[in-house]
Every structure is written in structure tokens, then in C-alpha cells.
Amino acid sequence: MSEKYARIIIDISHEKVDRPFTYRIPESLENKVIMGSCVSIPFGNGNTVRKGYVIEITKEPGFDTSKIKDIISIDEGNEAATERSIKLAAWMKKTYGSTMITALKTVLPASKKQKMLEHKYVLPRLELRELTELYYECKNKKQYARERILKELLDNYGNRIPYELITKKLAVSSATIKSMADKGIIKVESDNYYRNPVSIKDAGSDDLELSPDQKNIIDTVTTDFDNGDKKTYLIHGITGSGKTFVYIKLIEQIVKRGYQAIVLIPEISLTYQTLMRFYRHFGDRVSVMNSTLSPGEKYDQMQRARKGEIDIIIGPRSALFTPFERPGIIIIDEEHETAYKSESMPKYHAREVAEQIAKLLPDGASVVLGSATPSLNSYYKAVNGEYKLFELNSRLSGGELPEVEIADLRLELRSGNRSIFSRTLQEKIEDRLNRHEQMMLFINRRGLAGFISCRSCGHVFKCPHCDVSLSEHRGGKLVCHYCGYEEKISHICPKCGSKYVSAFRAGTQQIEKEVHKLYPQARVLRMDADTTKSKDSYEKILSAFANREADILVGTQMIVKGHDFPGVTLVGILAADMSLNAGDYRAPERTFQLLTQAAGRAGRGTAPGNVVIQTYQPEHYSIQTALRQDYKAFYEEEISYRNIMGYPPVAHMMAVQIWAKDEQDGVRQANRLRAVMEQRKGNSTVIIGPASAAISRIKDIYRMVIYVKDKDYDVLIDIKDILEEYLAQMAKTEDVSGLQVQFDFDPVNGF
């Protein structure tokens, strides 16, 4: 019999060993080692036992067989990778830049096996007569523990008694139970069961009638599905237009056809409300995956998916890798959210990976994106025919969009109001409290990078080269985090001469304190990173607010995303300028999205809603279009700027992120990387930097970045490949232990 060999990726995340190593499959494991198996192998000169994943089985060793070592064993503690997972990991490594083992671990959620939980039961081995005789014998001998067990078994003869009832309620030790089992009086049985993080008892029902627009979406997607024409679809639906109901009805159709569904949501805080709605329709065929679950809970949900015991999984981006046998539809709700982009290697975007998964499936899959404020990337693809676009322009409840007004903080300052709240907002809060209606106060803290602006005229200090705001740094400097441009902080506004020049900083605690001071009668809940640390904190806060246990919910952006509270009639947006001046080319897009999403929380019930946007720049197009909730007008304005500056989605961008222990060495290496790119770039390639990162040093590690732009994504991948090869060659001749380089394609967050 000819020998078989396995190509194995070693579980070491280092570029030096980022390639398959060949091992012999011993005869004892010949029928056990399969593609994807996690195995133990001897590695290196010292034959250190390491773990690895088999990515190919072959009869061709490729080199001298005398130098090939044997696989030691299959690692039973880890789940095997599927062929689909291996192909997806290889694509992610190539597309985003990382080691193969890092990519493989990313696509294998909860791969480490967990011990199953079990329910234990006690039942008699003896006939009723023998059991009765033994009971009286124990009673006479005053063997009280045995007497209690036997009485319980007699009273429930023919039924199993839960083990915990005997140990806790009857106060019988496990040693006594074991002794009786050893003597053949009783026996202990066990039933394995899955940990289930879903604890909804009665979710009710909300089966609504489909609107013509909703029905059109469902009919089109299912007809395409049946015809084998699986596409990517974008649903642009205003807040409250019933996108979730469309998802449910689409899934209903796909599940009927024998497929499964993955539903991605951007925030853990949305899990409970979303799960409630899906549970009403699908019962325990739906489960959840998120970071608050224990390792055992995560593993059990993956096992349930593997065995076909659930049809739908709901969760953030990691739920994308649920090991369903036949996923037929992947839905990405609030698709514009930056949470869908991984900030650790490989720096993948869930939208792109979802489309790749659909391509890898034998039957394909439909990908449905939904948002009231689609990302420019997705809308650009829809406008250019790459995605199929649907519009939902009316609220499901039949209600109107809320009335939005702007409070100009420049005028508030001139009139002597230095409160966090404008006079308009103060009046509306007082009015809602008197009418016993609810409200949300949203502090737009995203992008708090220390931008400097004039409180008198609204002027923001910007980079003359990159059209982004400059960020405040120590030493009295303003710095651009794209090109490195610097200037000294001026304490006089160059536009109006005012001395009210400063950085705006406020937090949720400060707002909560101010609310209590102005409205002592108000019941206030706060939702931010500090109040949502425990496992059930999101659910408790949201449930309390939904049950009208509070008048005001104060929070960061987590309170304005996808939540549906019919009692909310007022939303106050306290610092629109914070995200607008985040030193990032996406700042206007994020601001429009946040303001529109926040405004969409008001007036979702029968009562009309009001929104107050507080800002120092009321004339900015992102604020004006959010005021009108006019996405198309915003898109046209913003895409023209992106076109001029060559930013995504018109072109693509790669951030080459550099970490170095020594600052001078980091600068030297960054300049060397730029020189390599300059030699190999195309005519349309633009290279910016190197420049210091937004936070230039963390834990004494210096951080630099080079941005590369090109309309052709493949050009950027080629440059990434060239740099990886250059770094690998450099590692052979130089000590590069103090240097780390990562790649981020079309980054959504600053570095």
C-alpha cells in the first residue's frame, strides 16, 4: 500500500512558518486523518510537539521521504476544519494579509471542544416488593439518608428522580448514592443536553401584513433563489419601514426550501430585541452567538448548527462562520456599521466575506444588506449595478418621520447659555415629562480625537492637503493622521478672531448629572460602556426602558441603533460635531448615519416624534441632509468629494500599519517600505506618508502608517504581496523582532 502524506499548517502565528509542512500519515491513522483534522506533530530540530491543521492529503511527498516525520496523533480536543473553512481562510489570507493559521482560527469559531452538560437521574434496580422491604429495613436501622431516597423512589415508582433533588432537597450525599448504586439497589443515568443562551419564555406574536414594497422584495429574492440566480441585494429602508419583517419572511421561505440562515447584527445590545422578534416566528429553531456567551454556550450552538438542530443563528460578525450544512441566505442588518470590520488580523469586512462564502457554497447563497443609511461602498455598488437595490420609503406603522430641528450652539453661547442643553431641548424635555412620554439623549462621542473648533463661528481647523480635521496632540500641535501635516495650535480663531477656541469634551455621566440637576423628578437610565459590563446588562437596561420604568435613556451610539421603543417621542442629539470632526475622511458619512439613525428612534408609535440636533456647524451638508433625512442628497454631495480626493468607494485604500519598539528604527523601516512600494507602484497608485498614527505610541510601541490608494483593488493586493515577500527576506538577514507590519484594506477606523 502506497504511503499518504499530509500538508499541515502549524499553529504558530509567525511569517517564518506561514507555509504548509509535509508529514507522513502513519498506518494507524490512515483512515482517521482527513482534510481539516487537527493533529499533533513533532516540529523543528527539537521535535517540539505542536498542533496543526491538515489542509491537503496527497500521495506525493514532494521531497526526500527520509526527512519526513510522522503525525503523532489526532487532537481530539479540537473540531476539524471543513474544506469550505480552509478555502475561505486561504482567500482571507490572500485578500487581507495574515498568516494562514490566523485566518483559519478566525473562521473556526468555538473550535475547542467543550464537555457536554448532563442531567443525572436516579431510578431503582429492584422490584417494588424488594424496594418496599428494603425501605422498612433502613427505617428500622435508622439509616435515614437511604430511607429518604427509598421513600422518594417508592412515591414515584416508575419515574426517574433528578439527581439534584436527592442531593439538595433530600440532603443525601453523592457518596451514599454511589454506595447504593454499587450494591445494585439503584442506578444513575445521564442525559446530555446543550447549553441554550436563549431564555425567552413567551415572546408573543407580531405577524403583520406585508406592504406591496415588502412583498416585491420577498418575491424577487425568492424567485431569483429558485432560479439559481443568487445575488447580493441592498434594502435601503427608512427607519421603521419594516426591514426586520422582510428578513423574517425571506428566511421563512429559504428555510422551507431546506436551507439555513445567518443574520448579522452590529451590536450585542441589539441581540435581545432582534432575537425576540425571530423567536416569535421560529421558536427554538433560532439561536444566538455573541461575545457574552461562555465558551460552553458558544460551542453548543455550533454543535446544534452542525447537527441541523437550529435553522437560524443571530449575532455579530463572528456568527458568519457558523458551520451550517446548507446556508441559503446571509442577512447583514445595519450594514453600514463599522463593527462589521475586524480590527485584528485578518482585517476582514463581514460584507465581503459573506459574498465569498456565498461563492464557495455548492448551491450558492443570497446576501441581503439592509440599512436606513447604507454605507457609501454598498450604495455605490448598487448605483453601478453590482448589487440589486430595493427602497422602502414609508413607515410600517403608517406614522410620519419625526420632525427634526437644529439648535445652533453658536447662538446659545452668544445668549449666555453655557448648559449642555440648548433652550429648545430643555423646553421639549420639560414638555415630555409633563406628558409622561419617553425620550432619549444621545451623546455623539464617536471620534473623540481632540479636534479643535471655534465655539463662536464653528470654524474647524483642517488639514490643507487631506480635507480632514486636524487632531490635538501634546506639545501644542495639531496633526493630520493621513499625511503627517502639523501646525501649532492657535488660541485665536483665524476666521472670526474669537478667543472661544477649544476642544469639546463631554460624557454620559456628565449628562446624567445635568439631567438630575435640571429635572429631579425624571427617572433616568444610562447606557454606555460602564453600565453594560455584565452579561445581562444590555437586556436589563433595554427591558426596563421598554417597560416604561424610566423617562429618559442617556447613552452613546449603542442606544440609537435599531431599537424600537414606541413610547419615545423626543430624541436629543447633544454633540453632532464630535463625529463630524474625527480626523477621518469618513467623518461626514458617519455623522449623517448617526444623526439619521438617532432621529429614527423618535415617533415609532402612534404619537408624533421630535428630534433636536445640537451643533456648531448647522450649515454642514451632512447635518442639513440629516435634518431632511435625505440620503440621496447626502450621497451625491459626499461621493463628489470622494471622487476628487480618490477615497473609497471611488478608489481603494490600503493602510500599511507599522509598529516599532524604537522610534528611529520605525521611521527608517517605514521609509524603506515606502521606497519598495515606489519602485513597484502603477501609474494610478498614490502613496501618502509615512505619518504618525492617531495615537503615536501605546505601551512604548511607536506606531506609523502609510496609505496607498488605487482604483484597482488587485494592485493593492500585489503591493501587499511584494511587501510581505520583502519583509520575509529582510527577516533572514536582520533582527526584526521589534518590528511588526499589518495591512488594512479600505479601513473604516483611523489608526
Query: Tens digits of per-residue pLDDT, 228-285?
Result: 999 999 999 987 788 989 999 999 999 999 999 999 988 765 556 677 788 888 888 8
CA geometry: angle 712, 716, 717, nearest 5 deg: 110
CA 451, chain centre distance (Å) = 27
Characterize the bridge pairing of strands 652-660 and 739-745.
Answer: antiparallel
| HSE-up (13 A, CA, CB side) for residue 158 | 0
**Contact yes or no for 670/727 (Cβ under 8 A):** no
- Residue 187 to residue 131: CA distance in whole angstroms: 13
CA geometry: angle 242, 637, 340, nearest 5 deg: 50
pLDDT (tens digit per residue) in 23-42: 999 988 988 898 999 999 99
Helix (H) or strand (E) holding 369: strand 366-371
- Integer CA distances (angstroms), 637 to 38, 373, 643, 653, in order: 52, 15, 10, 20
How high is the pLDDT of residue 208?
A: 67
Q: Cell numbers of 663, please? A: 522610534
Looking at 3.30.390.50, 3.40.50.300, 3.40.1160.10, 3.40.50.720, the CATH number of the domain 212-392 comes to: 3.40.50.300
- At CB < 8 A and 24+ separation, what contacts does 229-232 make? 230/358, 230/363, 230/364, 230/365, 230/366, 230/367, 231/366, 231/367, 231/387, 231/388, 232/355, 232/358, 232/366, 232/367, 232/368, 232/369, 232/381, 232/386, 232/387, 232/388
User: Measuring CA to CA, which residue among 535, 604, 620 is closest to residue 565?
Assistant: 604
- Residue 436 to residue 432: CA distance in whole angstroms: 6
**Contact yes or no for 264/288 (Cβ under 8 A):** no
Amino acid present at 154? L
- Residue 375 to residue 350: CA distance in whole angstroms: 13
Helix (H) or strand (E) holding 192: strand 186-193
How high is the pLDDT of residue 448?
A: 39
- Residue 35 to residue 21: CA distance in whole angstroms: 14
User: Measuring CA to CA, which residue among 629, 602, 545 is closest to residue 397?
Assistant: 602
**Contact yes or no for 505/449 (Cβ under 8 A):** no
- What CATH class is the domain 652-745? alpha beta
Number of H helices, E strands in the chain: 22, 30
CA 278, chain centre distance (Å) = 19
Which superfamily does 4-106 belong to? PriA, 3(prime) DNA-binding domain (3.40.1440.60)
- Residue 149 to residue 124: CA distance in whole angstroms: 10
Percent of the chain predicted with pLDDT > 70: 92
User: Measuring CA to CA, which residue among 43, 41, 51, 53 is closest to residue 16?
Assistant: 43
How high is the pLDDT of residue 446?
A: 42
Query: What are the boundaries of each domain within the chain?
Result: 4-106, 117-193, 212-392, 403-448+505-642, 652-745
How many other β-carbons are positioned within 10 Å of the β-carbon of residue 664?
9
Could you tell me the pTM of the whole model? 0.79
How high is the pLDDT of residue 170?
A: 83
Helix (H) or strand (E) holding 610: strand 610-615
How high is the pLDDT of residue 421?
A: 92
Residue 440, exposed/middle/buried by CB under 10 A (0-12, 13-18, 19+)? buried
Amino acid present at 374? P
How high is the pLDDT of residue 447?
A: 36
How many other β-carbons are positioned within 10 Å of the β-carbon of residue 428?
21
Q: Extract the residue ranges of the chain whose pLDDT is less than 70.
A: 1, 110-114, 116-117, 193-208, 268-273, 397-399, 444-450, 466-467, 474, 503-506, 535, 561-563, 583, 604-605
b/e 667-678 (16+ beta carbons within 10 angstroms → b): bebbeebbebbe
Residue with cell 439555513: 260
How high is the pLDDT of residue 207?
A: 62
**Contact yes or no for 113/78 (Cβ under 8 A):** yes
How high is the pLDDT of residue 516?
A: 92
**Contact yes or no for 690/707 (Cβ under 8 A):** no
**Contact yes or no for 592/625 (Cβ under 8 A):** yes
Do domains 212-392 and 403-448+505-642 share one topology? The answer is yes
User: Measuring CA to CA, which residue among 553, 445, 464 is closest to residue 504?
Assistant: 445
b/e 458-473 (16+ beta carbons within 10 angstroms → b): bbbbbbeebbbbbbbb
Amino acid present at 247? Y
Q: Give the domain 403-448+505-642 fold.
A: Rossmann fold (3.40.50)
- Integer CA distances (angstroms), 119 to 122, 158, 195, in order: 10, 18, 12
How many other β-carbons are positioned within 10 Å of the β-carbon of residue 732?
8
What sign does the CA torsion over 340, 316, 394, 221 have? positive
DSSP sequence for 664-695: HHHHHHHHHHHHHHHHH--TT-EEEEEEEEEE
b/e 372-386 (16+ beta carbons within 10 angstroms → b): bbbbbbbbbbbbeee
pLDDT (tens digit per residue) in 45-83: 889 999 999 999 988 887 788 889 999 999 887 888 889
Q: Which region holds residue 44: left if phi is over 0, alpha if psi is between -120 and 50, else beta?
A: left
φ and ψ at residue 47, rounded to 5 degrees: 55, 40
DSSP sequence for 522-588: --EEEESTTTT-STTHHHHHHHHHHTT--SEEEESGGGSSS---TTEEEEEE--HHHHHTSSSTTHH
